[in-house]
Structure 1
Amino acid sequence: MSTTDADLDGTDRTADPEFSRARERHETLAAEITEHRKRYYLAEPTISDSQFDELFHELIDIETAYPELQSNDSPTQQVGTFSEAFTPVTHLEKLLSLQDVFSLDEVRTWADRITAEVPDEPYLCEVKIDGLAVDLVYENGRLARAATRGDGVTGEDVTANVATIGAVPQRLTAAEGYDIPELLEVRGEVYFPSADFERLNESQVAAGKAPFANPRNAAAGSLRQKDAAKTAERPLSFIAHGLGALRGFEPDSQSHSYAALDAWGLPTSPYWRVVATIDEAFAYIAEYGEQRHELVHEIDGVVIKIDRINVQRRLGATSRTPRWAVAYKFPPEEVNTKLLDIKVSIGRTGRATPYAVLQPVHVAGSEVEFATLHNADQVKAKGVRIGDTVVVRKAGDVIPEVVAPVEAARTGDETEFVMPERCPECDSVLAPASEGDVDLRCPNARSCPGQLRERLAYLSGRSCFDVDRMGYIACAALVEPLGADPVLVDEGGVFDLKMEDLLPIQVVVRDPDTGLPKPDPKTGEDKVVAYFANKNGEPKKTAVQMLENLETAKRQPLWRVVNALSIRHVGPVSAQALAEHFRDLDLIANADEAEMAAVDGVGPVIAAAIKDWFAVDWHRAIVERWREAGVRMQDDAPDPSEALPQTLEGLTVVITGGIPDHTREGAAAAVKARGGKVSGSVSKKTGAVVAGEKPGSKYDKAVELGVPIVRGEEFAAFLEDGLSVPETSDAESEPE
């Protein structure tokens, strides 16, 4: 009888069907995980990190339930793998992996187990860089060898490639209090800085090549080039996060070792912190969970370590992981899933946009089944095909995006996407709006139900008339009621809606999770209901409130009216600039193009688009119907006696992220009321960037250019006092 047929106490399990199923699944998983590890180290992964984690932890669960299935060659007892493409080298000390956990409860369980043995020990917290693990060996201060992790015992010699990375010193620098050791084995991550990765992918697409799926894959592929000159072309960087073999240096703590590494010229993370309790570690996790997109590199979690080295040694390690450290993984923002189809949506200005229909997948805390593909050129540049396994990314509240195909997972059954020649909503022929335009557009602006539906949804939104209870489904019902003529043929009649227009409207009931029609349990046909009326034919409360809110919306300021017209290129910022300058919609409509272009925040492209829009008869008819319905068409001139102090006069301000106690439009208005100018992009001429909660790439650009940054919580003081620039110290001032 083999050991796999018997329990640890000698019980024969061959007749146990559950054990047989577990053994079969164990064999399948072990083979799959081994293959995925090989692909990972070849920079050709076919599944995402989160999906690999799921497989790996399923294998752990099986071995926990059936310990006899665990053997020395099980993936759970190994760190990784290595390729024969490079010369194999043996690490001086084994590189261990980290125990991954996915909830704070699991972190607490780990900490409780540790504190039961060694109470009151401080923790070192650091962000988990999503890069490629490498091992550097310095002999008497000189870089002697660099290798990949491999299987933890044996790695690949990539010394020539690592030598091209500017952040890796060829020779250590002596520093006061830190003599250069005779032998130093350094563990760390090679990574792509986020900004450099974005530029790399832009260049890939521009060159007609497929973009890299993520920075880690790009880093792995760049480092493992047979020609080191090709590695040198890529802006890779490095951060050290641990030590292996040592001779001539004895750190007493992890934080002590980081101080030494920094002193010798080896970069460590700028984000690490020593904390006294696990609750402080939780606060660190929360802090960097919110800031994960503001850092210089991608992270996928937080690592918590016992800081003191002697306690680390006391706690020891398993065959694969140290017991004194744990890695908390953030919910994945990048996963692999199947691309079931590519369809085309029509936007409010007629733009035809391909989008992906996905096999539903959980990413960034929500289930995703649709993702943007931008335009036909992007689909072609990314090399995406229907039927592909694709990498899908969703960061926070950002719209999900298909990043790239997983070419290694192709079967040959995938099909190329062909951009339709006709609008899927109204069957009009799609064409570029102008020469050189990469986007195809539907020219049937007035009658295309897709465009009208999107325009209605936009004008009811917060940056326009802000009509509560007039959501997307209500807009769709007004444009395409079931079995009836449209209630609205364009947005001109939106303020003339009456309850008698709404009550007959019927719609198909759809499942909120899948979006598919719900069947009527009696007939089996699609279930149809009145959208604005209850079962008795009386108005629903939402219908009453929608009409009341439309009446209130007529009093919105002029800039919201301008924005609600859905003029191409005109957004909230340019709408506010126009309203502030002209204060009358008729003056905007009749203004000279050059005069409009001269308005700060407008320019020639927007000015030309406005003139083109008002040249269309049915566009002007919309304005007249709104005017007749009582929509505000003018703003009053400001009262000089109520003018605010011009603390920001002449200062160009960019606003990004959520600002406490302000909408984005309200924050912009507050800046303008104090003499400032609001811009949508950051440049060297920008006076300040106001960065609130979850700022975007504008924050990164400000940091890169050295533009002063005002935190969201400092906004009130910024309005009151203007931009405070620290005085130059005597030591920094130029000599007379």
Structure 2
Amino acid sequence: MRRQQAEQRLAALRTELHEHAHRYYVLDAPIISDAEYDRLFRELLDLEAQFPELVTSDSPSQRVGGEPLPAFAEAAHALPMLSLDNIFAAEELADFEERVRRRMQSSVQLTWTAEPKIDGLAVELIYENGLFVEGSTRGNGLVGENITANLRTVRNIPLRLHGAEVPERLAVRGEVYLSKKDFAELNRQRAEQGEPLFANPRNAAAGSLRQLDPKITAARPLSFFVYGVADPAALPCSSLTELFPHLRSLGFPVNPLIKFCRSLAEAEEHYHHLQQIRHELDYEIDGMVIKAASFAAQEELGSTARAPRWAVAWKFPAEEAEAVMSGVEFQLGRTGAVTPVAVLEPVRIGGVVVRRAALHNQDEIRRKGLMIGDTVLVRRAGDVIPEVLRPLTERRTGQEQAIVFPTECPACNNALHRPEGEAVTRCRNPHCPAQRLQRIIWFAGKSGLDIEGLGPKNVEKLAEAGLIADIPDIFRLDKERLAALDGWGEKSAEKLLAAVEQAKQTTLAKLLAALGIRHVGETTAELLAARFVDINKLMQAGEEQLLAVDGIGGQTAAALREYFADPANRELIARLLELGLTVQAAEKTASGGPLAGMVFLFTGTLASMSRAEAEERVRQLGGATASSISKKVTHLVAGEKAGSKLKKAAELGIAALNELEFLRLLETAAPDKK
């Protein structure tokens, strides 16, 4: 392809990919499949690899993160990013309204916006002629940190504005945040690795955006909501009522819970509505921001040195409180992990009485310096388990006691063990009754087969009644015995049994995740299901076969081998199948095919696809993959930051391909699958 043709095609691809990304991440209304998007993206990467001089800053390929930065440069704000004054009660809202009306001299009609106050990190994004050129933090309001490279990785921040007419320069402001689900998963991973936990999603988002290596930021699923512009005169809008739809048309994500109000009484109603639904949202909000909608009114009201006079933040009641930690209990999880839980003197936080709070692990207790008898600061956020943040050491009396970890399992009295290099202490008795109960709860829960009506409380109730002692008992539940339970009845029994029957049709990935094998979560289960034909082949897989799956490391492979080597676990799976559990097999690897006889080894990072996807493409075309360098390997595919395998391959005379050459090989082998 000639340079001019490539330039035209690249422009068309970028426009199309930007449109599809906007529909997917902002509008939540995709019109093409993921596979088709991936095909277009690979074509873009292919052309950019052929013509690197044509790579532009707004290309979708630039979202993956660049080279690590030595430090953040300063970024001055043309107009200050001011803070907001806070109020905490309806009476203070009335005072705010009185101040506004007293200062207003014109006859401008006052209307308002009521916006959820996202608990994230405020940022400013600069666009020149429709292209994203600079992004920064608030900093001190006048000067922030230039985090452009990291902000490029946030999927729903447009790199190029939509529409034919865009301003020459536009500075938008908004909030970058991390969802509750992703925050919990991030902290779970950090706890397992013995790393300090993030205190809340806001800290996690801020920490992610301040990474000197943009690839770390890119790996964390951050999101963005726009809440305004630095200079309203840059756009053809006279009020926020017009601004938000206009920003949405340019490609910015606008929070759907923003409400336009004719009076502050309406705004107050929306405040109570947001307070009621806040825990149903997948992101943290800590209040509501009220703004005068008219830009003329905003200009007339002006600002103090710290905050605008035309806006105020109405904060929700605090979800942190002080409590006395009277003791510590030790609970067992499905993998034998012993988790310390703080026993608190009852305290009301956010309208809920809290008596227990998470302590995570022994290292976290030591890092925070907690003692029994401490007055501690406790945080509660929605359905997330309350957490002890820190001790208030100034309240100590000298009567506090050290927290002593047990040496024996509190459920079965077996000796506890803490593997070297791990943060978690475990009971290694697979027949421990507490572990068995937790495995049932996990199997039936949302991370497992997601059986409606079989949540933790019902599982515990059925176990106490003698109806469930192990996982297979779920599929032996009897209608009459269920209906006879206190508080149940025939309809409840029928509903649960229908959900159990529906759960019998499952996939290999779901079953693997449901079994509660250590180190095997949903993502790992998907990788294993994509590689192995059925559960029996996976049970028979050796260590080398497991390690050949991208994303499966030594710990996970060892955990799988240990689990399937246990006759009790193999018997469990056999009993489930006998009871009617039907497992959808993974697609079979192609036999023969254009890559038959070839063995591929991957090193470094591929830009166009994950390593798991690349290996699957090879297997579909009849080839094989390897996890380590040997004479059996026929092709080494080297991505970005390829390691020592590249040198070793050269020594062994193994053909080395870059990513572009590998993609061309795939295209030649399967021209109908671009």
* TM-score, reference length from structure 2: 0.50
Question: Looking at both structures, which has the greater relative contact order when contacts are Cα pairs under 8 Å and sequence separation is at least 6?
Answer: 2
Q: With structure 1 as the length reference, what TM-score do the two structures score?
A: 0.46
Larger radius of gyration: 1
